[in-house]
Amino acid sequence: MSSQMIGPMDEFPLHQAPLPAAWVATSDRNFYDRCYLHANDRTGGLAVISGLGYYPNLGTKDAFVLVRRGDLQTAVHLGDAIDDNRLDQRVGGYRIEVLEPLRRLRVVLEETEGIGLDLVWEGSFDVLREQPHLLRHGARTTLNAQRFAQLGTWEGTLLLDGEEIAISRDRWVGTRDRSWGIRPVGEAEPKGRPADPPFEGMWWTYAPLRFDEFAVVLVVQEEPDGTRTLNDCTRIWKDGRTEQLGWPEVTVHYASGTRIPTGASIDCSVRGGRRLRLEIESRLAVPLHLGAGYGGDADWSHGLWKGPDFTERVAYDLADPAVAGKAMFGVVDHVARAVCEGAEGFGLFEHGSLGRHDPSGFTDWSSVAP
């Protein structure tokens, strides 16, 4: 890396601060810039989740590919030192090529530990800038992020232990998001004085859904008492129009004895007060804290330095009661089928209820649905 930290991006009028583009305008160690990509066979037979992240103040970059089929969930992790060419998004054998900004991407994992992919994403609708997401712990900002989301389709091939699986647009849909800002990444920081009051939990629902004529993107986060700290629900039409869908009431249907949803009923409203209902069913559940690096994943943490040219493969048998018992206590991505005003759609239903959540009847970290 150049000692001056001048790189290819500095040739373009992209600067937001009087610094080289490789330097972010904050010294916060938790600054990140990453993408998340979700692809699913709408029947629920197979799901692929992937992501790539840069952590400038930690000097690292990483990527992952997570595949769930049947009861087996398999992840490939890649990590390396950061470089000064952010126009070439790659970590080891993983790369993302921007074929047409905000519309088409190519995602490639050269065969690594028996898994490979070559997929092309095509956005079905314009990207949506979500509302900024801000959380504080006392006086300190713990999360300050901007995201955009998009619904679309996938085409290409997935290689899984010698088996080549065709990915076609008529069956494979998904969502992607890009986010950047501040969130906890890398090695754990010293805790300092214990939180007062202590952290009791969070409730999170993210539902980007693709229909033929429109898409809906919902993001809701609540505190243990039900106070909503993030409320964003928007419908995007084919012609680029957007409409806000008010203050959604989300009723999650949990399987008895768990915190794993079987689906959800979401009541939104359009201007004028007319109700709009989304009925969602889960066709396949992919726990993000088992191999994807989110929410207390014991095996993989975004931004963690693992050494140069790092790769590994890990697998989880969700039929194992010990593994299944962990699955419910984290954020889970569901391959989702949805119905809205008679229209059928598919996409992602991401949900996590961690700790206490009074509206759901969860009184502590271990309580489950009756």
State how far the Cα of 112 lies from the Cα of 94, in Å rounded to an integer. 9
Question: Which pLDDT score, from 0 to 100, does residue 4 have?
Answer: 66
| pTM of the model as a whole | 0.95
Domain extents in the chain: 8-186+200-360
Question: Which pLDDT score, from 0 to 100, does residue 3 have?
Answer: 47
Looking at the chain, list the stretches that DSSP marks H as alpha helix, in order from N- to C-terminal side: 321-327
Closest alpha carbon to 286 in 185, 183, 175: 175
Q: Output the six-digit token pair for 13.
A: 């009028």
State how far the Cα of 58 lies from the Cα of 12, in Å rounded to an integer. 25
Residue 262 region by backbone torsions, left for phi larger than 0, else alpha for psi between -120 and 50, else beta:
alpha
∠ CA 283-152-249, nearest 5°, is 55
∠ CA 219-225-229, nearest 5°, is 30
Question: Which pLDDT score, from 0 to 100, does residue 1 have?
Answer: 43
CATH 2.40.370.10 fits 8-186+200-360, yes or no: yes
**Helix (H, G, I), strand (E, B), or coil: what is residue 96?**
strand
Asked if residues 303 and 56 have their Cβ atoms less than 8 Å apart, the reply is: no
Q: What is the mean pLDDT of each run of 10 residues along the chain (370 residues)?
A: 71 89 92 97 95 97 97 98 92 98 98 98 97 87 94 98 96 96 91 80 96 97 96 96 96 95 96 93 96 90 96 97 90 97 96 96 94
| CA 207 and chain centroid, separation | 11
State how far the Cα of 321 lies from the Cα of 111, in Å rounded to an integer. 31
Asked if residues 95 and 89 have their Cβ atoms less than 8 Å apart, the reply is: yes
Question: Which pLDDT score, from 0 to 100, does residue 9 have?
Answer: 87
Q: Output the six-digit token pair for 140.
A: 């300190």
Residue that the structure tokens 């890009």 belong to: 178
Residues 6 or more apart in contact with residue 167 via CB below 8 angstroms: 39, 119, 154, 155, 156, 157, 158
